[in-house]
Structure 1
């Protein structure tokens, strides 16, 4: 596939080299890296301004794209309605279903159901988001930090009259286990609750944004209660990403 660029915000050359940097498509697809940006939105808008490709794939630096991924991407994009603005490997459907599939090292499993066609979503996991440059969509630089921008861009697309979809676009997310959400997540949650007050509730991959904010408090309590169990599920990030892809049956992807 031609006509797309890979963009990444990274604070660690080592993580980038061990994961996204090992993706075979980088032999013929350009990678634009924004290092040490103050927020995800600023990093991604800088990447938009620095590139010209009609399709921009924003991926975390701990994501690996197996062989054949770009051909599968071309197939998935061809399946999208003409109104598409953003597409993702993992999203939350309008019915709150988890749409995938992707591998998560922090969860030790493949997550998300495999849809037969693109599914409209209300939010994305930020691990991988594909943006149609012709939509004119950009990330909201008022959103602080590194959380919730997948939900924000999905909502922004829908309000602007563009589609936000997720589909079967497998990848490896070699993410480390997190025991609890930080205060930076709270800050992003409060921002989103204010910005999208008229659209609430909105289900994100982590929690539900509600007017009361009680869902976040409930999910924090659940995380504390399940911390030991969740840590036991995680597989760690020291496995070669090619091995993880092979275990998932994704050594070679195809349409």
Structure 2
């Protein structure tokens, strides 16, 4: 399986990369890591990665993600489960929003200080992914839209592209660690991405992302910006510092070796 996989990451910090993704045991098990530095957007970084690699399954991961031991074997099991129902699948994610709006995981989030997402008993079709981990089937021909700005909502965009083309996008049980830093508020770059998605997918709205709902009116964005400001202190108290070793977080979650679950 390892030769069929490549991990690709858009990188900005050698320290964050080295403390998290680059420590993942699967890299020592024969899975290559492809790094993209200094990209103008997530879409640009990931398209570069697709062009520079040849593996049939591309694991697009944030630099602050850690894959516990055995994750690649569990992924092989999950791909087989998806392929049974959907031989021409396009995308698989570790955390997604189901068609009913349910959050499907489970994954650890340091910024929230908890495991988030419902454990699926079988692959669940989704309308969006958290961008922390997106597994792309190269045979699908899917690519990221470089006209979209910045570093937000490309997980919703690529899923919507797949669904429009009749390709499956699924959330499955792939526990992993997102050792992400606490963010006080959603910034102007997030608003820019929201507006771009409103324009691009106006005929398919509403779309529910892990953070907000993209609607024609935009009322949900204004509500969620206000909620983020109001809850900043509470969320800061929930967050866990990223100085905790990724392996220790995996141990505390009971995910030290996922190979036994595969």
Q: Same fold judged by TM-score > 0.5?
A: yes
Under a length normalisation based on structure 2, what TM-score does the superposition of the two structures give? 0.97
Please say if 1:22 is aligned against 2:27: no
Give the corresponding residue for 1:41.
Answer: 43
The separation in 2 between residues aligned to 1:243 and 1:30, in whole angstroms, is 23
The alpha carbon displacement at 1:98 in A equals 0.2
SS state at 2:139 partner = helix
1:126 and 2:161 aligned = no
Matches within 5 A, 1:233-248: 233-248=238-253
Rounded Cα–Cα distance in structure 2 between residues aligned with 1:236 and 1:211: 37
1:67 CA displacement: 0.3
The 4+ residue runs of structure 1 with deviation greater than 2 A are none
State the superposition RMSD in angstroms: 0.6
Quote how far apart the aligned CAs of 1:224 are. Answer: 1.2
Partner of 1:50: 52
**For residues 1-255 of structure 1, what are the structure 2 equivalents within 5 Å?**
1-2=1-2, 3-27=4-28, 28-80=30-82, 81-254=86-259, 255=262
2: distance between equivalents of 1:125 and 1:36? 22
Separation of aligned partners in 1, 2:163 and 2:241: 36
Structure with more of its chain in helix, by fraction: 2
Q: Which runs of no fewer than 5 residues in structure 1 stay unpaired?
A: none
Q: After superposition, give the CA deviation of every residue in 1:133-161 in whole Å (9 maximum; x if it has no partner).
A: 00000000001100000000000000011
TM-score normalised by length of structure 1: 0.99
SS at match of 1:52: coil
Give 1:223 deviation, angstroms. 1.0
Q: Across the two proteins, how many residue pairs are aligned to each other?
A: 255
Cα distance in 2 for residues equivalent to 1:12 and 1:243 = 21
Rounded Cα–Cα distance in structure 2 between residues aligned with 1:186 and 1:194: 13
Paired with 2:73 and 2:107, the residues of 1 have a C-alpha distance of: 17
Give how far 1:225 is off.
1.2
Residue 236 of structure 1, CA deviation: 1.1
CA distance in 1: counterparts of 2:231 and 2:41, whole angstroms: 29
